[in-house]
Amino acid sequence: MTPRRTIPPLARGVLEKDRRALARLMTLVENHESAAEASMAAIYPHAGKAHVIGITGPLGVGKSSLISALLGHLRSKGRTVGIVAVDPSSPFSGGSVLGDRIRLDRAPGDNGVFIRSMASRGHAGGIAETTREVVRLLDAFGMDVILVETVGSGQVDVEIRDIASTSLVVVVPHLGDEVQSLKAGLFEIADVFCVNKGDLPGADGAARYLSEMVSLGTDRDGWRPRVVSASATAAQGISELWEALEAHERFLDEKKLRAGSERVRLGRELVELVRERVGDQLAQKIDDDPQLDRLLAQLQARTIDPHAAADRLFRAFRPET
Ligand SMILES: Nc1nc2c(ncn2[C@@H]2O[C@H](COP(=O)(O)OP(=O)(O)OP(=O)(O)O)[C@@H](O)[C@H]2O)c(=O)[nH]1
Ligand SMILES: [Mg+2]
């Protein structure tokens, strides 16, 4: 482990539970500032203890409301909680950023809670990396549970599995449409389903229907997704929901799957980071290469196709093996 005196001040601040240092370092990470690198390296040995739970599902199903309810439940049990809400910046999200902030800022003076909103800025790729670092910071800060909210559309949700050990997929009662729009991917990532808005008509039927669908599906490493009905706004089913999430975490420990799943996540992260470096280096080399002009001319003259041109450049720059 790094000797204490070599730890950069911001990282030391985080490890000493200084909330301002935590917020500051998160901002540096989000902005991809190189100043964050040494601090993140010093943080790393202190992370890896928290239960990280990803919460996803279609727009407006009540993900933030459930997080707020779970927060209350967890705090009443004395657990410390970090929350990361990834907000889309699409025009459809109107007001959700504000909505999240209003609800989530309700715990002033509670040092056992730290909430961070992140804009996804329309990028799928970059989210995973910075979200992962922000989660890591909350973990090193000492939060017991970290809840990560993402919007249920495409790429982002699959990436939640790269960050979280347990994934919660939230849906609402009018399941006919929901199941249609639920991408197969969401079904694959769910460890727990929550049918939220249980106070609305049709909730019981929806939960039964979902349970049937789950029972027809296959287990993943011996885990069959749980289906829980809840109402975030009526504060119903919240302890059952937490129990189901915790059951999955216990399952990971009992079946000794936690280390293996972390290994898979770290492997993906590593490949991603190396790919980024190789890509940057390659782009620079290609930019400087005189062959580029010739190939571009050939492409425009339609005497070569892009794949063949790429093959040629790739052969020229492939690292020695
Ligand atoms: N009736 C009812 N309404 C709910 C319930 N939970 C949330 N809502 C309402 O549904 C709306 C959306 O809730 P959010 O918690 O913002 O949903 P979200 O999934 O986080 O939304 P996005 O982040 O925008 O995708 C709000 O108006 C909530 O008050 C519930 O259990 N019952
Ligand atoms: Mg939300």
pLDDT digits (tens, 9 = 90+) for 64-89: 999 999 999 999 999 999 999 887 65
Q: Are residues 201 and 213 part of one domain?
A: yes
Query: Which atom of ligand 1 approaches the CA of 152 most closely?
Result: 25
Residues with C-beta less than 6 Å from any ligand 1 atom: 59-65, 93, 96, 99, 151, 196-197, 199-200, 231-233
| CA 172, chain centre distance (Å) | 21
Q: Are residues 297 and 239 part of one domain?
A: no
Q: Are residues 206 and 63 part of one domain?
A: yes
Q: Are residues 195 and 116 part of one domain?
A: yes
Instruction: Identify whether 139 is part of a domain.
Output: yes
Q: Are residues 208 and 127 part of one domain?
A: yes
Query: Which atom of ligand 1 approaches the CA of 100 most closely?
Result: 16
pLDDT of residue 95: 39
pLDDT of residue 120: 66
Q: Are residues 82 and 183 part of one domain?
A: yes
Q: Are residues 176 and 155 part of one domain?
A: yes
Q: Which two tokens stand for residue 318?
A: 């492939």
pLDDT digits (tens, 9 = 90+) for 215-256: 887 787 889 999 999 999 999 999 999 999 999 999 999 999
Q: Are residues 238 and 160 part of one domain?
A: yes
How far apart CA 24 and CA 134 sit, in angstroms, is: 11
Q: Is the pTM of this model over 0.75?
A: yes
Give me ligand 1 centre to Cα 103, in Å: 11
User: Which of these three, 46, 64, 81, is where a domain ends?
Assistant: 46
Give me ligand 2 centre to Cα 254, in Å: 32
Three-state SS at 161 = coil
Instruction: Identify whether 260 is part of a domain.
Output: no
Instruction: Identify whether 309 is part of a domain.
Output: yes
Query: Which atom of ligand 1 approaches the CA of 196 most closely?
Result: 31
Q: Which two tokens stand for residue 96?
A: 């959700």
Burial of 97 (0-12, 13-18, 19+ CB in 10 A): middle
Q: Is residue 184 very low, low, confident or very high in pLDDT (cuts 50, 70, 90)?
A: low
Ligand nearest to the CA of 68: 1
Q: Helical H runs in 19-84?
A: 19-30, 36-43, 63-76
152-168 mean pLDDT: 74
How far apart CA 215 and CA 232 sit, in angstroms, is: 25
Q: Are residues 270 and 202 part of one domain?
A: no
51-63 mean pLDDT: 90
Please say if the pLDDT value at position 23 is more than 70.
Answer: yes
Give me ligand 1 centre to Cα 233, in Å: 8
Q: Helical H runs in the chain?
A: 9-15, 19-30, 36-43, 63-76, 96-104, 125-141, 155-160, 175-181, 184-189, 203-216, 238-254, 258-288, 291-300, 306-317
Query: How many domains does the chain divide into?
Result: 3
Give me ligand 2 centre to Cα 100, in Å: 6
Instruction: Identify whether 144 is part of a domain.
Output: yes
Q: Which two tokens stand for residue 317?
A: 């720059």
Q: Are residues 189 and 72 part of one domain?
A: yes
Q: Is residue 110 very low, low, confident or very high in pLDDT (cuts 50, 70, 90)?
A: confident
Q: Is residue 213 very low, low, confident or very high in pLDDT (cuts 50, 70, 90)?
A: confident
Q: Are residues 79 and 117 part of one domain?
A: yes
> Which residues keep their CB under 5 angstroms from ion ligand 2?
63-64
Instruction: Identify whether 117 is part of a domain.
Output: yes
Q: Are residues 169 and 226 part of one domain?
A: yes
Ligand nearest to the CA of 88: 1
Q: Domain range holding 277?
A: 266-317
User: Which of these three, 255, 282, 301, is where a domain ends?
Assistant: 255
Burial of 235 (0-12, 13-18, 19+ CB in 10 A): middle
For 171, residues 6+ apart whose C-beta sits below 8 A from its C-beta are 57, 58, 61, 178, 182, 193, 194, 195, 196, 206, 210
User: Which of these three, 255, 284, 307, is where a domain ends?
Assistant: 255
Q: Which two tokens stand for residue 99?
A: 């909505």
Give me ligand 1 centre to Cα 165, in Å: 24
Q: Is residue 60 very low, low, confident or very high in pLDDT (cuts 50, 70, 90)?
A: confident
What sign results for the dihedral spanned by CA atoms 232, 190, 77, 52? negative
How far apart CA 71 and CA 53 sit, in angstroms, is: 12
